[in-house]
Amino acid sequence: MDKILVCGGKRLQGEVVVSGSKNSALPVLVSSLLTAEQCAYQGIPDLMDIRTTLKLLSSLGVRVEREQDSRGLGDLTIRADHVTKLEASYDLVKTMRASFLVLGPLLSRFGEARVSTPGGCAIGTRPVNLHLKGLTEMGANIDLVHGYVVAKATKLHGAKIYLDLPSVGATENLMMAATLVKGMTVIENAAKEPEVEELATVLNKMGAQIHGAGSDVVKIEGVDALHGVRHRVIPDRIEAGTFMVAAALTHGDIVVRGARADHLEAFLLKLKEAGVTISIEEGRVRVKGEGRVKGVDVTTLPYPGFPTDLQAQMMVLMAVADGVSVVTETIFENRFMHAQELIRMGADVRLEGNRAIIRGLESLSGAEIMATDLRASVSLVLAGLVAKGNTEISRIYHLDRGYEHIERKLSALGANIQRIKG
Ligand code: UD1
């Protein structure tokens, strides 16, 4: 297995280009199941999770082709005109929970689907009850058989659905299913994340009638059929935020090209509060770290609150801040696994339930550490950038699920980082 070796202490500077958003690309690729016409997507990031999604779509009989001249995955065309299988296997769903998103589109277009339940994952139990509750309210018959959700519907219909939590995945799954059913579906307490809004934009380009995406009430008037689409994926706000933390941590100066400041408001306000200089320009954000940051308290919340996917990175920044800070995680129950590894690097972190109390220190010290999940792994890379000496991070397959060419991008900014092939 590959490892990443970081030798800390370099100041990062220069320009980095943000890749296409993983969390936007995943549901958008899946939405191609809703039409027999060709869909073309640009800016698809070359990541393990994207490859898993393409493998899943191919296993259903969907044709996936890379457009000519496309570097990496980049530009793809997808055509779901001969779907031969209506099943997502355990193998695919267990490696990537977003595979569960095929349930809504398959059920809505073909009247049945068999999708493995995702099970728990490192950061928590992560159930899918809200996805299932919504589909049941739309008229689906759902059984759990041998670890699979078996869903059938002779005819789905519009419904009024209240989500107990504003789940991103449930909102996306139900929104996709509702595009092709008879009547109006209303999702109340919907997730407002930019990726949800973007999915609605793509579906509307395909002929869907969705209103209110990006607010907490989404209304979908079902239509008879959807058509093909051409769409460029939005920039990855979490990757952008990660480079911004890297600038602040290393007292560097990084221009993050493609970053959408409007998707990162809570996060940017927290960086400013911590004393980081932010300049928002057309199509880019410049972040300058002028000396040690101040400790600030952070609570993760559904969008537009502070994103849970930037919590681990922010904790690293707080570990070397001046003062004490409290990081509270309210979205996932077990998302502090990076804390144990940071403690091995000398950080002063105390965990109390869903709160981490961090006393900032002047520096961390390099160590052999282990990645545990996607965002935790990038936070350990960040910690390596400011640690004294060498940091060796194992189990970095988590990193490859969500960060495109991370070591190349950081090296180009001046980091001393390399991948050791295992
Ligand atoms: C998405 C993102 C992930 C991000 C998360 C929260 C993708 C591919 N992934 O994940 O990076 O961290 O949003 O912003 O876009 N829940 C239930 N029942 C359900 C569904 C969810 O209880 O049926 C709970 C979850 O356990 C969790 C919370 O709701 O505690 C939020 O989960 P959700 O918004 O669904 O996250 P994902 O869509 O899985």
Residue with CA at minimum distance from ligand 1 atom 39: 169
- Whether residue 121 lies in the annotated active site: yes
Predicted confidence (pLDDT) per residue in 327-382, tens digit: 999 999 888 999 999 999 999 999 999 999 999 999 999 999 998 888 889 999 99
pLDDT, position 106:
98
Residue with CA at minimum distance from ligand 1 atom 3: 309
pLDDT, position 126:
76
**Cα separation values, 352 from 61, 119, 336, 411, Å:** 48, 26, 11, 36
* Judgement on whether residues 199 and 316 belong to the same structural domain of the protein: no
Residue with CA at minimum distance from ligand 1 atom 1: 168
Tell me the CA–centroid distance for residue 167 and ligand 1, in Å: 5
Predicted confidence (pLDDT) per residue in 331-346, tens digit: 998 889 999 999 999 9
For the CA of 97, the nearest atom of ligand 1: 39
Instruction: Report DSSP letters for 52-114, one per residue.
Output: HHHHHHHHTT-EEEEPTT--SSEEEEEE-SS----EE-HHHHHH-GGGGGGHHHHHHHHSEEE
On the question of pLDDT at 22 being above 80, the answer is: yes
pLDDT grade for 95, boundaries at 50, 70 and 90: confident
For the CA of 193, the nearest atom of ligand 1: 14
Residue 141 φ then ψ, to 5°: -95, 120
Q: Is the CB of 332 under 6 A from ligand 1?
A: yes
pLDDT grade for 74, boundaries at 50, 70 and 90: confident
Residue with CA at minimum distance from ligand 1 atom 4: 309
pLDDT, position 104:
98
Tell me the CA–centroid distance for residue 203 and ligand 1, in Å: 21
* Judgement on whether residues 224 and 138 belong to the same structural domain of the protein: yes
Q: Is the CB of 124 under 6 A from ligand 1?
A: yes
CATH code of the domain in which 266 resides:
3.65.10.10
Q: Is the CB of 54 under 6 A from ligand 1?
A: no
Share of the chain above pLDDT 90, in %: 87
* Judgement on whether residues 284 and 347 belong to the same structural domain of the protein: yes
pLDDT, position 69:
60
On the question of pLDDT at 68 being above 70, the answer is: no
Q: Is the CB of 331 under 6 A from ligand 1?
A: yes
Q: Is the CB of 128 under 6 A from ligand 1?
A: yes
* Judgement on whether residues 239 and 359 belong to the same structural domain of the protein: yes
* Judgement on whether residues 198 and 315 belong to the same structural domain of the protein: no
Give how many domains the chain has, as a whole number: 2
* Judgement on whether residues 137 and 277 belong to the same structural domain of the protein: no
Tell me the CA–centroid distance for residue 288 and ligand 1, in Å: 32
* Judgement on whether residues 13 and 39 belong to the same structural domain of the protein: no
* Judgement on whether residues 214 and 257 belong to the same structural domain of the protein: no
d(CA 14, CA 320): 23
pLDDT, position 240:
98
Predicted confidence (pLDDT) per residue in 4-19, tens digit: 999 999 999 999 999 9
Q: Is the CB of 130 under 6 A from ligand 1?
A: yes
The number of C-alpha atoms within 13 Å of 37 and in the hemisphere containing its C-beta is 10
* Judgement on whether residues 216 and 204 belong to the same structural domain of the protein: yes
Average pLDDT over residues 55-62: 96
Domain with 314, as residue range(s), is 3-19+235-420
pLDDT, position 45:
94
Tell me the CA–centroid distance for residue 254 and ligand 1, in Å: 30
Q: Give the end of a domain, one of 232, 260, 278.
A: 232
Alpha-helix runs per DSSP H in 224-373? 237-249, 265-273, 311-319, 337-344
Share of the chain above pLDDT 70, in %: 97
pLDDT grade for 124, boundaries at 50, 70 and 90: low
pLDDT, position 376:
87
Predicted confidence (pLDDT) per residue in 226-235, tens digit: 999 999 999 9
Q: Is the CB of 98 under 6 A from ligand 1?
A: yes
Mean pLDDT of the chain: 95
Residue with CA at minimum distance from ligand 1 atom 37: 169
For the CA of 302, the nearest atom of ligand 1: 14
* Judgement on whether residues 213 and 260 belong to the same structural domain of the protein: no
SS3 for 315? helix
pLDDT, position 334:
82
For the CA of 23, the nearest atom of ligand 1: 15
* Judgement on whether residues 72 and 198 belong to the same structural domain of the protein: yes
Predicted confidence (pLDDT) per residue in 247-288, tens digit: 999 999 999 999 999 999 999 999 999 999 999 998 999 999
Q: Is the CB of 129 under 6 A from ligand 1?
A: yes
d(CA 222, CA 183): 5
Residue pair 260/284 in contact (Cβ under 8 Å)? The answer is no
Tell me the CA–centroid distance for residue 402 and ligand 1, in Å: 16
d(CA 352, CA 48): 34
For the CA of 132, the nearest atom of ligand 1: 23
pLDDT grade for 120, boundaries at 50, 70 and 90: low
On the question of pLDDT at 62 being above 80, the answer is: yes
Q: Give the end of a domain, one of 177, 201, 232.
A: 232
Active-site residue identified among 5, 121, 150, 278: 121
Q: Give the end of a domain, one of 189, 207, 232.
A: 232
Alpha carbon 13 to chain centroid, angstroms: 26
* Judgement on whether residues 121 and 241 belong to the same structural domain of the protein: no
Name every residue whose Cβ is closer than 8 Å to that of residue 248 and which is 6 or more positions away in sequence: 271, 274, 276, 287, 289, 293, 317
Instruction: Look at the block and give the residue holding tokens 């092709």.
Output: 180
